[in-house]
Amino acid sequence: MGKLCFIVLFVSLPSTCVNLIEAGLPFNKRDQQDVSITNVGQMGKMTSCTTGLSLIESARAYTGYGCYCGLGGAGNPLDATDDCCYFHDKCYDQSPCSYRQTYTIRYQMTTSSCGSDDATVTCKTASDYPGYDGDEKECALTICNCDKDLAYCLAEARSTYNEAYRNWSNSEC
C-alpha cells in the first residue's frame, strides 16, 4: 500500500499545494472547500524535511526503490531504506483507517529545522481536528505518525542508500 504514495507524489502534487488547505474538514465538506484529498504531499514534505532532499529529489530517490518503496511490495527488503518502506507499509496496513482513508485523509503537522540534523516533524493532537469525528481523528493521527516514522527512518538510512536499488524490478523481490 505505501508504495502508491510515492508514485502519486511525483504525478499530482506540486509543493505549493501542500500547505494551501487546512486539514480537519469532514469528508463531506472537502469538495465544497476545494480541499485536496491526498496526504501524499504531506508525507513528501516530511521526507524532504528530514532527508534534506527537495520534493522532486525525494520522489526520484524513493519511488521504485527496492522491493517496498513505491507501488506494491513483495519479498524481503533489500537494505535499511527498503526496510523503512516495508515498515511504513505495515504501519498503514495496521491503521484503523479504511483503504480510501489511508491515502486521502489529511492530517496536520509541523516541520522545523528542515535539512539539518535537528529536523523535527510533529503530528498535531486530536484536538486540532474539530471537523473530524472520533474515527477520523484516530485515522489522521495514525497516518501522520506512520508517515513521520517513515521520514525519520529514511533520514537515518540515508548514508546506506544504494543507487543500484533505484527503479528496482519487483520481479526480483
Instruction: Just list the catalytic residues.
Output: 88, 147
Q: How far apart are the first and last CA of the chain?
A: 16
Instruction: Tell me whether residue 66 is annotated as binding.
Output: no
Instruction: Tell me whether residue 70 is annotated as binding.
Output: yes
CB 148 within 8 A of CB 123: yes
- The per-residue b/e assignment along 41-77, b for 16 or more CB within 10 angstroms, e otherwise, is bbbbbbbbbbbbbebeebbbbbbbbbbbbbeebeeeb
CB 170 within 8 A of CB 72: yes
Instruction: Tell me whether residue 89 is annotated as binding.
Output: yes
Task: Using alpha carbons, select from 58, 55, 49 the residue that is nearest to residue 116.
Answer: 49
Residues contributing to the annotated binding site for Ca(2+): 68, 70, 72, 89
